[in-house]
Amino acid sequence: MSSPSPAPSVSPAPTVDTNAPTMAPTQPEDVYPEWWITLIAMVFVTGLLFWSLKRVLKAADEKRKRVQKNLKRLKSKIVASDEFYQKYGYSWDWVLVFKVQEANQKPTEYQRHHSVREVVTKLCEAGLHTTMFYSVQQDEVYCKVRAPPERLQAEADRQDYKVPLDAMCLKAICDRGRFESHGWNPVMYTTFASELYPFEGHYAPYDRERAGADDIPYKSYSEGTFRNVDRIKLIQSIMECPRYLNGAGLKLKDLVHKKACLGVYPLHDYLALLTLQHKWLGLFKMPGNQPDEEIKDYFGEKIGLYFVW
């Protein structure tokens, strides 16, 4: 019989020390630290912003100079071609558009009594200036209308048209008083009780006889006592006023409605409009920083109130 084989020897399992510290895998060292990369990025972005801002400022300055140059060139062109503008500072304010009647077209009774000749004659008899020219297609006739300062003053005096008073002149009058001529002493007032300047926003009916003296200090503009919007209102009143009140006696709505006239509308003062646009619109003009007074003086009180609120 064979002897039994010896049992295989079993070696003990190695023991693991759980308390021994674990070694993290080694990472390659960064060539540039993280803070250095962030600093480079910030410097680059800041430089790019400054460069962009410099370009924008340069473009805005070039645009401002270009607009001023265009305004000067346009003004010199208008002054050279219009003696009236050179003398009074304004030009045409209204335009009437008439259709050229064809030979085979029969006008109505109303159109015969309100022909181009009749309408222009009434306008001239009312003291207005007119000029006429054909359109490019030669199918329409444009009649521009304006009024001299004397006619505007007469119409404003007739209807007691309200015009603003000059704040500084009004303050000077109140400070010195008019005891000898009117019997009242200097006016006492305070300026700290209200944010509003006490001499701003005062209006008075226009009086032609007292306008030249120092009696009523009417506010003066570059084109005189009356603004562009004032001239438009006064000329419209002259055109619609009855003839016995030195008006033209025209009903402008009836002229358009009965097709004696294609259209009647006021004209823009191109130079004043460009000046207002330059003050109003810009790259760095904030919405709350609008030229409210200039808007009111050009477009009128209603539109000016809209932009204020």
Mean pLDDT over each residue of the chain, to the nearest integer = 82
Q: Express each pLDDT in 159-210 by its tens digit.
A: 999 998 888 888 887 887 776 666 677 777 766 666 667 788 888 899 888 7
How many angstroms separate the Cα of 71 from the Cα of each of 12, 227, 273, 285?
104, 19, 10, 20
Q: Express each pLDDT in 268-292 by its tens digit.
A: 988 888 888 888 877 667 777 888 8
Q: Express each pLDDT in 209-253 by its tens digit.
A: 877 666 678 888 877 889 999 999 999 999 999 999 999 999 999
Q: Exposed/middle/buried for 21, CB within 10 Å: 0-12, 13-18, 19+?
A: exposed
Look-up: residue for tokens 């003062």? 269
Q: Express each pLDDT in 53-69 by its tens digit.
A: 888 878 877 777 777 77
Q: CA 106, CA 282: separation in Å to the nearest integer?
A: 53
Query: pLDDT at position 240, please?
Result: 95
